[in-house]
Amino acid sequence: MRPPAPEHFTSRLRSPAVAARVGTWLGIAFGLCFLTGVYSHVAQLPDPWIALPTRPSWFYRVTQGLHVTAGVASVPLLLVKLWSVYPHLFTRPPRARRDLLLHGLERASIGVLVAAAVFQLVTGIANSAQWYPWAFSFRATHYAIGWVAIGALVIHIAVKLPTIQQALTSDIDDAALDRPAMSASGGLSRRGLVRTTWVAAGLAVLATAGSTVPALRRVSVLGVRSGDGPQGVPVNKSARAAGVLESAVSPDFRLVVAHGDLSVSLTSADLAEMPQTTADLPIACVEGWSASATWTGVRVRALLDLVGAPVGVPVTVTSLQEHGPYRATILPGNFAADDLTLLALRLDGEPLDIDHGFPCRLIAPNRPGVLQTKWVTRLEVSA
Amino acid sequence: MTTPRRSSTPPLRSPLEQRRGDPGVRLRIVLIACGVLAAAYGAWSLLGEDPRDLLDAALWLAGGVVLHDFVLAPLVLVLALAVRRWLPEAWRTPVVVATIVLGSTTLVAIPVLGRFGARPDNPSLLDRPYVAGWLALLALGLLAVAGHALAQRRRATRTSRRSDGADPGR
């Protein structure tokens, strides 16, 4: 059996006119994923090289929701884009050595682009459903391949720029850029295929985005979360998974606030007697789901004042949970100083559910959910 | 574009050589350099990872390409042939449209349909009846296809009857 050749593909739909139009939106979606992804990566760094703002408090909720939504929309866009250029996979390499080198480089850059693009969508969508069928670290690898994908995409756009310009400035049915073999007509038109792609992207978004857009909850039949949970708020890591079922409800529980040699030890009752602040703040998870809730508790700033910590210094927040990369996290100075950064004791007026971090949890504006540490037992400022 | 051309994708080499001073070419070279830098940074940032994890990531990277190019794409080709061969003309376009829309949504839904990440200790995760939701989407799609095809057929018979009357010689 001989391998297929580009001239065996005769559909008029497999045209640069289609590829450039779908590719434009795919490029925009990947650009959005990249920017929001880098933002999320920086927000999760223990010691970010720039101070991220604490306001607006919903900002991370929006960027991370956009990240996952743009990724989901990219699935149909990428599939149709790849379908429209599939014949080029079977292009024979040129004979001349010089052409061969450029041809090889371009093919290699496209191979890297396709591999990275598929990898990002597959790992990202699996991660949003907390499915990890691989051994590598999701966060480090998804971040690194994100740079590879955007780099390969920029190279691809640069190489194809004249074709893209010509395709986008002429009518979609213009045959100027078509391969000579493209003769088959009838059935779906190019305009029809492009519109179908938009509908597919729209449906994929509607069917999943309810995990972060409350108005879509009823429509999003394929959303990772319905938005329900203990006290009406979903949970990412349960008390059982964190191994705190006993320590969190123990009468020996103490919150220690330390600054150099100075430290105070507080019981839950001590915390409840301090001045309380109530704030509406979202929990916005890196997996893309989010939910807003009303939290009541003690300002972190007020706790730091007990040990005379200077304003604007970073604080190490430690959880009762014994393992996991987020057992201890660093709250940057500007977040520690913010009036809305609370050590929350209550959710919607009720004591926190144990799965939401009883007896007390961190809740700060504009922070990734994994850094909103639950079951907090220690706040420490290095002297 | 001021240079209409009938050929297919112009090779990168000729415009680069012919118009090295062209601002468009310079822009493209700068873009390529930026792309190479970004991709190299991504690859470099992985260097600290465990070699076994890197091998796993490489397998997933290559696996995606192989699965798309040599499994999914040929499958779509076979499907397209089947549609052309066995489906009546009125049904083809709606079936193709529905396959694109529902097929891609189904791929997105694989992790929730399989509930692979579900955990007994966390009922707030993957807490919807996904198979029922997916079947509902499928049913809606099928209804739309059938409705469209039937409407098309009725229109076709009506116009052919009318043209029969107007042009009895045909």
| Cβ atoms A206, A73 nearer than 8 A | no
Mean pLDDT of all residues in B90-114: 95
> Can you give the CATH number for the domain in which A249 is found?
3.90.420.10
The residues near B148 (Cβ < 8 Å, ≥ 6 apart) are B93, B94
Which spans in A45-90 are helix H?
59-85
Does any domain span residue A227?
no
Of A82, A98, A125, the CB nearest to B111: A125
Please check whether residues A49 and A145 belong to one and the same domain.
yes
* pTM, full prediction: 0.93
Looking at the fold, whether A64 and A119 belong to one and the same domain comes out as yes
CA B161 to chain centre: 39
- Looking at the structure, do residues A45 and A127 belong to the same domain, yes or no? yes
Do A65 and A195 reside in the same domain of the chain? yes
Which residues of A are less than 8 Å from B97 in CB distance? Answer: 188, 192, 196, 199
A199 and A300 inside one domain = no
Instruction: Using pLDDT thresholds of 50, 70 and 90, give the confidence band for residue B162.
Output: low
Residue A48 included in any domain: yes
Q: How many CB atoms lie within 10 A of CB A214?
A: 12
**pLDDT class of B21 with cuts at 50, 70, 90:** low
pLDDT digit string, tens, across residues A229-286: 999 999 999 999 999 999 999 999 999 999 999 999 999 999 999 999 999 999 999 9
Q: By C-alpha distance, which of B116, B103, B120, B127 is closest to A223?
A: B127
CA dihedral A183, A187, A192, A197 (to 10 degrees): -90
pLDDT tens-digit map of A177-206: 999 888 877 789 999 999 999 999 999 999
Q: Looking at beta carbons, which residues of chain A come within 8 Å of B127?
A: 225-226, 228
User: Angle of helix B89-114 relative to helix A97-128, nearest 10 degrees?
Assistant: 60
Q: What is the DSSP string of A61-73?
A: HHHHHHHHHHHHH
Residue A229 within any structural domain of the chain? no
Instruction: Pick the range with the lowest mean pLDDT from A31-45, A335-349, B77-91.
Output: B77-91
Q: With respect to residue A64, please indicate whether it lies within any of the assigned structural domains.
A: yes
Length, in residues, of chain B: 170
Torsions phi, psi for A231 (to 5 deg)? 55, 30
Lowest mean pLDDT among A324-328, A364-368, B64-68, B70-74: A324-328
Give tens-digit pLDDT for A130-153: 999 999 999 999 999 999 999 999
Domain identity same for A143 and A260: no
pLDDT(B16) > 60: no
Look at residue A377 and tell me if it is in a domain.
Answer: yes
The shortest C-alpha distance from A223 to chain B (Å) reads: 8
Q: Which residues contact B79 (CB under 8 A, 6 or more apart)?
A: B99
Q: Is the peptide bond before A3 cis (omega within 30 degrees of 0)?
A: no
Sign of CA dihedral A101, A105, A111, A114: negative
Give the residue, A135 or B150, on which the prediction is more confident.
A135
Q: What are phi and psi of A258, to 5 degrees?
A: -130, 145
The least confident of A198-202, B90-94, B107-111 is: B90-94
Which residue, of A216, A249, A277, is where some domain finishes? A216
Domain that holds residue A260: 239-381
Which two tokens mark A155? 């190279």
Asked if the model's pLDDT at residue B165 lies above 70, the reply is no
CATH number at residue A90: 1.20.950
- In this structure, the answer to whether residues A37 and A142 fall within a common structural domain is yes
Residue where a domain stops, chosen among A164, A181, A216 = A216
Question: Tell me, what's the pLDDT at B89?
Answer: 85
Region A298-323 average pLDDT = 96
Q: Do B32 and A230 touch (CB under 8 A)?
A: no
Q: Are B49 and A136 contacting, i.e. CB atoms less than 8 angstroms apart?
A: yes
Q: Are residues A211 and A247 in the same domain?
A: no
**C-alpha to C-alpha distance for A276 and B129, rounded to whole angstroms:** 40
Find which of A35, A110, A131 to mutate to test the B interface (most B CBs within 10 Å of its CB): A131
Residue A32: C-alpha distances to residues A58, A72, B10, B33, B37 (Å): 18, 12, 29, 21, 19
In the stretch 193-212 of chain A, residues with CB closer than 8 A to chain B read 193, 196-197, 199-200, 203-204, 207-208
Note whether ipTM > 0.95 here: no
Q: How far is A187 from chain B (nearest CA, A)?
A: 6
Residue B35 to residue A314: CA distance in whole angstroms: 36
Residue A125 belongs to a domain: yes
The number of distinct structural domains making up chain A is 2
**Hey, what are B121's tokens?**
């200790």
* Residue A310 and residue A161 share a domain: no
What chain B residue is nearest to A101 in terms of C-alpha separation?
B13
A228 occurs within a structural domain: no
Q: Do A156 and A281 have their domain in common? A: no
Which contacts qualify for A5-8: CB closer than 8 Å, 24 or more apart? Answer: A5/A90, A5/A92, A6/A87, A6/A88, A6/A90, A6/A91, A6/A179, A6/A181, A7/A179, A7/A180, A7/A181, A8/A87, A8/A90, A8/A181
Which residue, A216, A249, A268, sits at the end of a domain?
A216
**Window 14-33 of B, Cβ < 8 Å to A:** 15, 24, 27-29, 31-32
In a domain, A316, yes or no: yes
Distance, CA of A341 to CA of B2 (rounded, Å): 58
Contacts with A, B 141-170, CB within 8 Å: none
Q: Are residues A42 and A100 in the same domain?
A: yes
Q: Does residue A15 sit in the same domain as residue A162?
A: yes
Share of chain A above pLDDT 70, in %: 99
On the question of a cis peptide bond just before residue A56, with omega within 30 degrees of 0, the verdict is: yes
Per DSSP, B69 falls in state I
